[in-house]
Amino acid sequence: MPRLSWVPNFLTILRMALIAPLLFFFESKETWVSVSIFGFVVLTDFLDGFLARRFGWTSLSGSILDPVADKMVSMSFFAFFAWKGDLFLPYFLLAFGRDTLQLIAIPVLLLWKKIPFQVKPKWPAKWATAIKFLLILMFVLDHLVGWGNHNLTWGVIAISGIFEIQVLSVFLPRFVQIYKKEHDTFE
């Protein structure tokens, strides 16, 4: 059997490539196409990490690409919903700002400062991403099929905001430590 270690990174890149078509079909009110693509995007997020860990196909590029893809998905949808006036602006600024800072850290450390680092997210960061994806799903369902429990949405926004603040409070000092070469891992 040929070595398939490229599959997790391919799935991650595919997730990024599906963002524009997903938003196009979503805006076109193509309900089942949008929900299907969104489901596939979420599935690739699970599968890439599962396959990498299960078969030992982990790589530095994969550990960086996966969170980049997650951020691209959430940032694209959050920008879309903020533009539509559906997303609470302070939450949008917090979530979008945190993702932007984390994305900027990659070229600053790797390309500009030539500082290698690892990405090994702990559970709070993973939960922050999962809750963002849940929030996106809630907005998608509300727009496509009129499902909308606004009290529940506000509750998820509040919980997500708490996770965003927690992740940001861990990320910023760790970035400084890595920048000063006192640490080598984002957690």
Cα dihedral across residues 126, 93, 78, 153: positive or negative:
positive
Share of the chain above pLDDT 70, in %: 98
Does the pLDDT of residue 1 top 50, yes or no? Answer: no
Decide if 136 contacts 74 (C-beta within 8 A). yes
Closest by CA position to 53, among listed 63, 67, 61: 63
Domain locations in the chain? Answer: 60-186
* Model pTM score: 0.88
Residues 69-113: pLDDT tens digits? 999 999 999 999 999 898 999 999 999 999 999 999 999 999 999
Segment of 26-30, 63-67, 88-92 carrying the highest mean pLDDT: 88-92
Give the residue-averaged pLDDT of 39-46.
Answer: 90
**57 CB-contact burial (10 Å; exposed 0-12 / middle 13-18 / buried 19+):** middle
Helix ranges (DSSP H) in 18-149: 19-27, 31-55, 60-83, 89-107, 123-145
Q: Taking residues 160-175, report their average pLDDT.
A: 96
Supply the mean pLDDT for the chain.
Answer: 91
pLDDT band at 34 (very low <50, low <70, confident <90, very high): confident
Nearest CA among 186, 162, 178, 171 for reference residue 66: 186
Average pLDDT estimate for 121-140 = 91
Segment 114-125 shows an average pLDDT of 90
Residues near 86 by Cβ (< 8 Å), separated by ≥ 6?
Answer: 139, 142, 143
* Nearest of 40, 35, 44, 19 to residue 143 by alpha carbon: 35
On whether the CB atoms of residues 154 and 84 are closer than 8 A, the answer is no
